[in-house]
Amino acid sequence: MKLNKYAWIAMLALSIVSCSSNDDEAISGEGNLIVEFDNAYAGSDLLLNASTYNAVDTEKIKISAVKYIVSNIKLEDENGHVYTVPKNESYFIVDESSESSQMIDLSGVPAGNYTKITYGIGVDQEKYLEGAEGQGDFLTQAQEAGMMWSWQAGYKFLVYEGVYTSENTTAETAFAFHMGSHGSSVDNYKEVSLTFPTIARVRTDLSPIVHVVVDLDHILNGTTQFMLDDASQIHVDAVKSPQIATNASGMFTVHHIHN
């Protein structure tokens, strides 16, 4: 019986070592991680030009365009190690009218168990100050997507457009929120950090999807409330645009992870 007992212990120890070895092998190398941006409104799926949503007070809106810039993505694993996506590969435009733009595929991510993501909304001053030549292909992408006023005026970090009605405005009236930085005087670039509800397991043969829900209700109804009757066209405003930037930075939540 003792021999059988010791043999069982030896087999268990060998099994543990083998599992540990397999785990070490499983988390070596590189893989992909996909970040999915799922635009919504107050818990409902976002439908452009179709659904009417409650805004602030009696105002109701119908949304026609939603675009925003996501940049400078960093991933943190369970041990606190941070992987930073190379800067020149880390600028993306999420456009509700383009389904493919809502899935950001990050390649070359070190295999690991990731628990947190950090990214910027907009283009940081460091990148902008590299000049037009330093923007690479992203400058052309932004121009084609309507995400720039001009090179001198800078990038639009957020485009949010549609029509609204209210108790006082019964006819559908256009609104447009275009938010960006204002030179070096007003920097509206915001960083967002989100903790995952479960681990995202990046492996050479496993590409997790981080499902981020983006609640656009926060743009008008966040830290600062905006009544469209008071401000139906907000493009460049050194007072309101920082408030819009703060509202927009609060609209992101990691809903779940697909491993």
| 15 within domain boundaries | no
Q: Among candidates 41, 80, 69, 74, which has minimal Cα distance to 194? A: 74
Handedness of CA 36, 42, 43, 49 (dihedral sign): negative
Q: Residue 192 has what pLDDT?
A: 98
Query: Is the pLDDT score of 155 beyond 90?
Result: yes
Q: Return the percentage of the chain with pLDDT > 90, whole number.
A: 78
Q: Is 71 helix (H, G, I), strand (E, B) or coil?
A: strand
Residue at token pair 């996506």:
85
Q: Which domain holds residue 201?
A: 29-258
Query: Is the pLDDT score of 17 beyond 90?
Result: no
Query: Is the pLDDT score of 2 beyond 70?
Result: no
Amino acid residing at 173: T
Query: Is the pLDDT score of 5 beyond 60?
Result: no
| 13 within domain boundaries | no
| 18 within domain boundaries | no
Q: How confident is the model at residue 152 (pLDDT cuts 50, 70, 90)?
A: confident
> Cβ distance 30 to 204 under 8 Å?
yes
Q: How confident is the model at residue 184 (pLDDT cuts 50, 70, 90)?
A: low
Handedness of CA 86, 89, 93, 98 (dihedral sign): negative
- Which whole number is the average pLDDT over 192-213? 97
> Cβ distance 227 to 185 under 8 Å?
no
Q: Residue 189 has what pLDDT?
A: 96
Q: Residue 18 has what pLDDT?
A: 42
- Which whole number is the average pLDDT over 141-160? 94
Q: Residue 14 has what pLDDT?
A: 42
Query: Is the pLDDT score of 61 beyond 80?
Result: yes
Residue 209 CA to residue 49 CA, distance in Å, equals 28
- On the 0-12 / 13-18 / 19+ scale of CB atoms within 10 A, 79 is exposed
Q: How confident is the model at residue 241 (pLDDT cuts 50, 70, 90)?
A: confident
The model's pLDDT over 101-137, given as tens digits with 9 standing for 90+, comes to 999 999 999 999 999 999 999 999 999 999 999 999 9
| 5 within domain boundaries | no
The model's pLDDT over 70-88, given as tens digits with 9 standing for 90+, comes to 999 999 999 999 999 999 9
| 6 within domain boundaries | no
Question: Where do the DSSP E strands lie in the chain?
Answer: 30-41, 44-45, 53-54, 60-77, 82-84, 91-95, 103-110, 112-121, 148-150, 154-155, 158-165, 173-179, 190-202, 209-215, 233-234, 252-258
Q: Residue 25 has what pLDDT?
A: 47
| 154 within domain boundaries | yes
| 9 within domain boundaries | no
Q: Residue 28 has what pLDDT?
A: 87
Query: Is the pLDDT score of 204 beyond 80?
Result: yes
Q: How confident is the model at residue 238 (pLDDT cuts 50, 70, 90)?
A: confident
Q: Which backbone phi and psi does 241 adopt, to 5 degrees? A: -65, -35
| 12 within domain boundaries | no
Structurally, the chain folds into a number of domains equal to 1
Residue 147 CA to residue 141 CA, distance in Å, equals 8
